[in-house]
């Protein structure tokens, strides 16, 4: 009888294991689609409070963004999340953004990674993927530009030498053009 119980347990275990997970992957995907998550990381401590302030401004100015800040343990994990399209926007130092762009200095496993700059906050940059929709980039930059002084930042297009190219939506805002067409 004991052998039979063990066999039943062994057969049930694969069915039960997915139910024990902390955050089911599909729910996380849905959450990410509904919220603009701003990635920060623990090693670079100023990124988290900065991310909180950005999320507050964006949630107030663009309520449909449902902006939130999230924190990874280190820059490598944050790079992994943006490189695999699990996060759309991250805060990185200029040095880390350049290293990720070039696939060097700890980011070799990602190879060269295409990134785009939205906004600069001292040594930190709000970075996104090139496929981040232009209309969203425009609205994010517009909302942050309205609070640039209190946030201590400036649009990436205003900087002479960003660590990665400026996003097309951010450039449109800087040029005074209308926002790119919204595509769902």
SS3 of residue 162 by DSSP: coil
Domains delineated in the chain: 24-174 (3.40.190.10)
DSSP secondary structure string for all residues of 27-94: HHHHHHHHS-EEEEESSSTTHHHHHHHHHHHHHHH-GGG--EEEEESSHHHHHHHHHTTS-SEEEEEH
Question: For residue 182, what pLDDT band results from cuts at 50, 70 and 90?
Answer: confident
| 84-142: pLDDT as tens digits | 989 999 999 999 999 999 999 999 999 999 999 999 999 999 999 999 999 999 999 99
| Confidence check: pLDDT of 174 > 70 | yes
Question: For residue 82, what pLDDT band results from cuts at 50, 70 and 90?
Answer: very high
Q: Write down the pLDDT at residue 118.
A: 98
What gap in Å lies between CA 43 and CA 74, rounded to an integer?
A: 5
- pTM given for the model: 0.82
Q: Write down the pLDDT at residue 19.
A: 47
Question: For residue 1, what pLDDT band results from cuts at 50, 70 and 90?
Answer: low
What gap in Å lies between CA 184 and CA 179, rounded to an integer?
A: 14
| 16-62: pLDDT as tens digits | 445 444 445 555 554 456 679 999 999 999 999 999 999 999 999 99
């Amino acid at each position: 009888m004991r052998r039979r119980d063990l066999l039943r347990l062994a057969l049930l275990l694969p069915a039960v294991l997915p139910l024990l997970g902390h955050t089911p992957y599909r729910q996380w995907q849905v959450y990410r689609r509904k919220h603009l998550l701003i990635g920060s990381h623990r090693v670079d401590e100023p990124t988290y409070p900065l991310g909180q302030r950005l999320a507050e401004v964006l949630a107030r100015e663009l309520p449909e963004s449902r902006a939130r800040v999230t924190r990874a343990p280190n820059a490598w994990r944050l790079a992994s999340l943006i490189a695999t399209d699990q996060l759309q926007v991250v805060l990185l130092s200029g040095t880390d953004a350049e290293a990720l762009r070039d696939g060097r200095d700890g980011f070799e496993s990602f190879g060269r990674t295409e990134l785009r700059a939205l906004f600069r906050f001292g040594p930190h940059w709000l970075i996104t993927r090139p496929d981040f929709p232009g209309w969203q980039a425009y609205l994010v930059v517009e909302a942050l530009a309205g609070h640039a002084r209190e946030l201590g930042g400036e649009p990436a297009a205003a900087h002479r030498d960003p660590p990665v190219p400026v996003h097309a939506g951010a450039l449109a805002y800087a040029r005074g053009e209308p926002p790119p067409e919204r595509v769902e």
